[in-house]
């Protein structure tokens, strides 16, 4: 059995979890949980990366003896180091407005078709490529590290970029499985700022006792360092005919495939082909997710989520519907006002109570899931029998039921801590636990975690009508 720590950083909170993993054991215990989120300084949104580092150390120092440490986080964001390894400036949050209009500018010199043929990535305005194009690279920038790589560098002094997260930069060649030299040079970036790639399971280095206060000799192991890649490892699926929603601040809706799908249909529907553990492809789309609800709660100063969900469950169905993926919902701000604005623009009465707002958000998300799931199956030519909802959002029973109703397939909800589970499983395998493949890991998740099942209810015709209301015949 192995005793490993998973550092799992989401966009609203981070945690350090202790994992005990063996042939028939998979247990997590929380060592530290801490706030994470955007910090606005001089008009720019940043991550508080030193707070993250310190909170990670606090968790690790409370862990007792460890066989390994793995770090996963959200994707696309990065820190720049100078030649001596010092961080140049505080990493910027992907929701910052510095990328406004940049995607359009880059696409006028690198056509979207070409970019998709190389990277297979969905167009999101905050992809690393657009963040880099938004600013002049500091003259003393010597290395770019993605957030988990930066935090691993601070623990070990070793530099590398893990592949699943590299695949989210839009600078990675999805077929060659390496950085795209041609895109990097067309962007005017020096090739050497992008370090060599690491595979999930590679040892990054050993934690430096003097810097970290940890016992000597603990390996820091590259995992699926993109949180969604780690989460997908822990989807408790049997076989191939499944879809997943990794449900948190974002909802990542899609399929696991053996190879990328780079067709015009996939590009036009804005599907991404992100790198998975063991060379799999995460064929999915970002749906705006629980972010909209989290921002409503922040604006209302209301942290009683169970109360809001009870009110939403009692609110009239299909009263108000929005397109959650509309660009106005991306940046932090007054979401209730933005929802009202979208209602006005689409000729609907604004929701009159908080419960009605929450109902509107959840039904609108369920509709977006349905559209995405159907498109994924058609484009990838893969039918599914079951939809696994994993991550924090799997605890939201109303959303799970609406998702089953809208998608017309059974939903299996759980595990909640999917990213941390995927993280510890990949570490345990690297340390010698016998998991020959992903299905063995998934079998262990199934046998150690209970799932909740939601069967489709209600009238499918209501969802058809709702879909044409929001999206017309598009």
As measured in angstroms, the least distance from the Cβ of 423 to ligand LFR is: 13
Of these, 17, 45, 63, 75, which contacts ligand LFR (CB under 6 A)? 75
| Residue in 227, 323, 325, 405 annotated catalytic | 227
Q: Which stretch binds ligand LFR (CB under 6 A): 70-78, 193-201, 232-240, 427-435?
A: 70-78
Active-site residue flag, 210: no
Q: Does 228 bind ligand LFR (CB under 6 A)?
A: yes
Q: Does 252 bind ligand LFR (CB under 6 A)?
A: yes
Q: Does 37 bind ligand LFR (CB under 6 A)?
A: no
As measured in angstroms, the least distance from the Cβ of 117 to ligand LFR is: 21
Q: Which stretch binds ligand LFR (CB under 6 A): 72-80, 188-196, 332-340, 405-413?
A: 72-80
Q: Does 76 bind ligand LFR (CB under 6 A)?
A: yes
Q: Does 10 bind ligand LFR (CB under 6 A)?
A: yes
- Is 91 or 355 the residue whose CB approaches ligand LFR more closely? 91
How many residues of this chain bind ligand LFR (CB under 6 A)?
Answer: 14
- H/E/C letters for each residue in the chain? CEEEEEEEECCCEEEEEEEEEECCEEEEEEEEEEECCCEEECCEEECCHHHHHHHHHHHHHCCCCCCEEEEEECCCCEEEECCCCCECCCCECCCCHHHCCHHHHHHCCCCHHHHHHHHCCCCCCCCHHHHHHCCCCCCCCCEEEEHHHHHHHHHHCCCCEEHHHHCCCCCEECCCCEECHHHHHHCCCCHHHCCCEECCCCEEEECCHHHHCCCCCCEEECCCCEHHHHHHHCCCCCCCCEEEEEECCCEEEEEEECCCCCCHHHHHCCCEEEECHHHCEEEEEEECCCHHHHHHHHHHCCCCHHHHHHHHHHCCCCCCCCCCCCHHHCCCCCHHHHHHHHHHHCCCCCCCCHHHHHHHHHHHHHHHHHHHHHHHHHHHCCCCCEEEEECHHHHCHHHHHHHHHHHCCCEEECCCCHHHHHHHHHHHHHCCCCCCCHHHHHHHHHHHCCCEEECCCCCHHHHHHHHHHHHCCC
- Is 128 or 401 the residue whose CB approaches ligand LFR more closely? 128
Q: Does 68 bind ligand LFR (CB under 6 A)?
A: no
As measured in angstroms, the least distance from the Cβ of 440 to ligand LFR is: 25
Q: Which stretch binds ligand LFR (CB under 6 A): 105-113, 196-204, 224-232, 309-317?
A: 224-232
Of these, 6, 11, 17, 266, which contacts ligand LFR (CB under 6 A)? 11
Q: Does 389 bind ligand LFR (CB under 6 A)?
A: no
Residues forming the site for ligand LFR (CB under 6 A): 10-11, 74-76, 94, 226-228, 248-250, 252, 286
Active site residues: 227
């Amino acid at each position: 059995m192995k005793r490993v720590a998973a550092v799992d950083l989401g966009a609203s909170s981070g945690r350090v979890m202790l994992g005990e993993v063996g042939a028939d054991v998979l247990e997590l215990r929380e060592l530290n949980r801490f706030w994470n989120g955007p910090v606005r300084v001089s008009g720019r949104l940043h991550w508080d990366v030193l707070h993250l580092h310190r909170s990670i150390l606090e968790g690790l120092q409370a862990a007792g003896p460890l066989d390994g440490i793995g770090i996963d986080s959200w994707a696309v964001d990065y820190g720049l180091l100078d030649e001596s390894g010092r961080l140049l400036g505080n990493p910027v949050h992907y929701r910052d407005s510095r990328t406004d209009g940049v995607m359009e500018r880059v696409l006028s010199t690198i056509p979207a078709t070409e970019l998709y043929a190389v990277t297979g990535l969905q167009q999101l305005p905050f992809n690393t490529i657009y963040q880099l194009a938004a600013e002049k690279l500091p003259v003393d920038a010597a290395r770019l590290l993605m957030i988990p790589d930066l935090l691993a560098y601070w623990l070990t002094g070793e530099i590398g970029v893990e592949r699943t997260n590299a695949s989210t930069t839009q600078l990675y060649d999805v077929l060659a499985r390496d950085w795209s030299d041609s895109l990097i040079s067309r962007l005017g970036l020096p090739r050497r700022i992008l370090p060599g790639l690491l595979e999930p399971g590679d040892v990054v280095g050993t934690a430096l006792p003097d810097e970290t206060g940890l016992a000597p000799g603990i390996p820091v192991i590259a995992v699926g360092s993109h949180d969604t890649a780690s989460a997908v490892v822990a989807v408790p699926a049997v076989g191939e005919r499944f879809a997943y929603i990794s449900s948190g601040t974002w909802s990542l809706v899609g399929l696991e495939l053996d190879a990328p799908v780079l067709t015009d249909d996939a590009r036009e529907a804005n599907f991404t082909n992100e790198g998975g553990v063991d060379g799999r492809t995460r064929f999915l789309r970002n749906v705006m997710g629980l972010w909209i609800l989290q921002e409503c709660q922040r604006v209302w100063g209301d942290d009683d989520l169970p109360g809001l969900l009870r009110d939403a469950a009692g609110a009239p169905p299909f009263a108000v519907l929005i397109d959650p993926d509309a660009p106005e919902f991306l940046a932090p701000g007054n979401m209730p006002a933005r929802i009202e604005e979208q209602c006005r623009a689409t000729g609907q009465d604004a929701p009159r109570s908080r419960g009605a707002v929450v109902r509107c958000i959840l039904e609108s998300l369920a509709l977006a899931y349905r559209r995405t799931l159907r498109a994924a199956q058609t484009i990838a030519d893969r039918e599914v029998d079951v939809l696994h909802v994993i991550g924090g959002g799997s605890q939201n029973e109303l959303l799970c039921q609406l998702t089953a109703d809208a998608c017309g397939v059974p939903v299996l909800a759980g595990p909640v801590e999917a990213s941390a589970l995927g993280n510890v499983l990949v570490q345990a395998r690297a340390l010698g636990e016998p998991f020959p493949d992903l299905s063995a890991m998934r079998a262990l998740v199934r046998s150690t975690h209970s799932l909740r099942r939601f069967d489709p209810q209600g009238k499918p015709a209501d969802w058809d009508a709702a879909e044409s209301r929001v999206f017309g015949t598009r």
